[in-house]
A and B are shown apart, each in its own frame.
Chain A
Amino acid sequence: MSKPDRPQGAPAGTKRIPTPTEPDVDVIVVGAGPAGAAAALVLARAGRSVYLLERGPFPGSKNMYGGVIYGRILDTLIPRWWEEAPVQRWVTRRATMVMTPTQALTIDYRTAAWGEAPYNGATAFRPDFDAWLADHAVAAGATLVPSTTAVGLLRGDRGQIVGVQTDRPDGDLTARLVIACDGVNSFLAKEAGLYHHPEAEHFTLGAKEVLALPRDEIEKRFGLRGLEGADFEIIGCTPGIAGGGFIYTNLESVAVGVVLSLEDLKRSGKRPEELIAGLKAHPAVAPLVEGAELTEYSAHLIPEAGLHMMPELYGPGMLVAGDAGAFCLAAGIWLEGVNFAIGSGKVAGEVAVQALRAGDTSATFLGRYQDALTDTFALADHIKLQGAPALVMSDNVQRRYPELVCSLVESLFTVTNPTPKKGALRLAREAAKGSGVRLRDLARDGWAALRSYG
Chain B
Amino acid sequence: MAEPAGPAGPTIAVALKWVDLRPDIDRVTGATHHDVRFFGCSAADQAALEHALRIGERFGWPVVAVSAGPAEADAVLRDALAVGASAAIRVDIEAGARSQHSAAALHDALATIDGLRLVCCGDWSLDRGSGSVPAFVAAHLGWGQALGLVGVDLDGDAGDGAFTVTRRLDQGRREVLRIDGPAVLSFEGGTAELRRAPLAAVLRTRDAAIVPLAGPPAPHHRLRVVHRGPDRPRARVLPPPDASLSPRERILALTGALVERTPPRTVVCEPDDAADLILDQLRAWGYLD
Contacts and interface: CB of A to CB of B under 8 A. Distances in A.
Contacts of B206: 143
Nearest to B53: A1
Given A145-B203, A168-B202, A1 B193 contact: yes
A173 interface: yes
Contacts of A172: 199
B198 A169 contact: yes
B195 interface: yes
A168 B37 contact: no
A127 interface: yes
A169 B202 CA distance: 11
Interface stretch (A2-10, A153-161, A219-227, A381-389): A2-10
Contact of A131 (B37, B195, B202, B260): B37
A118 interface: no
A170 B203 contact: no
Contacts of A171: 198-199
B286 interface: yes
A6 B285 contact: yes
Interface size class of A (residues with CB under 8 A): 20 to 34
Interface in B192-229: 193, 195-200, 202-203, 206
B34 to A, nearest CB: 14
A82 interface: no
Interface string A164-196: 001111111100000000000000000000000
Select the residue from B37, B206, B285 with max chain A CB neighbours within 10 A.
B37
Contacts of B37: 57-58, 61, 127, 131
A11 interface: yes
B287 A168 contact: no
A49 to B, nearest CB: 11
B285 A148 contact: no
Interface in B239-272: 260
A173 B285 contact: no
A13 interface: yes
B123 to A, nearest CB: 21
Contact of B199 (A1, A13, A173): A173
B199 A166 contact: yes
A131 B35 CA distance: 13
B200 A170 contact: yes
B286 A11 contact: yes
A12 interface: yes
B196 A168 contact: yes
Interface in A205-219: none
A13 B286 contact: yes
Interface in A278-306: none
A169 B196 contact: yes
A8 B260 CA distance: 14
A212 B37 CA distance: 21
Interface in A6-49: 6-8, 10-13
Interface size class of B (residues with CB under 8 A): 10 to 19
A10 B285 contact: yes
A166 B287 CA distance: 15
A168 B198 contact: yes
A171 B202 CA distance: 10
Nearest to B82: A168
Nearest to A6: B286
Contacts of B202: 145, 148, 168
Contacts of A170: 198-200
A57 B260 CA distance: 24
Nearest to A61: B37
B199 A148 contact: yes
Interface in B150-208: 193, 195-200, 202-203, 206
Contacts of B197: 168-169
A399 to B, nearest CB: 28
A11 B200 contact: no
A12 B288 CA distance: 10
A215 to B, nearest CB: 15
B286 A10 contact: yes
A173 B199 CA distance: 9
Given A3-B260, A170-B200, A10 B287 contact: yes
Interface string A45-66: 0000000000001100100000
Interface in B25-60: 37
Nearest to A170: B198
A9 to B, nearest CB: 10
A166 B37 CA distance: 23
B193 A168 contact: no
Contacts of A167: 196
Contacts of B195: 1, 169
B199 A11 contact: no
A8 B198 CA distance: 13
Nearest to B193: A1
B215 to A, nearest CB: 28
Contacts of B286: 6, 10-13
A404 to B, nearest CB: 38
B38 to A, nearest CB: 8
A172 B286 CA distance: 18
B229 to A, nearest CB: 23
A288 to B, nearest CB: 23
A143 B207 CA distance: 10
B52 to A, nearest CB: 14
Contacts of A8: 196
Contacts of B199: 145, 148, 166, 168-173
Interface string B267-281: 000000000000000
Nearest to B54: A1
Contacts of A145: 199, 202-203
A61 to B, nearest CB: 7
Contacts of A148: 199, 202
8 contacts: A11-B286, A58-B37, A166-B199, A167-B196, A168-B196, A169-B196, A169-B198, A169-B199
Interface of B: 37, 193, 195-200, 202-203, 206, 260, 285-287, 289
Question: Which 5 pairs of residues, A with B, have the shortest CB-CB distance?
Answer: A168-B199, A169-B198, A170-B198, A171-B199, A10-B286
Given A1-B195, A58-B37, A145-B199, 4 more contacts: A143-B203, A145-B202, A148-B199, A168-B198
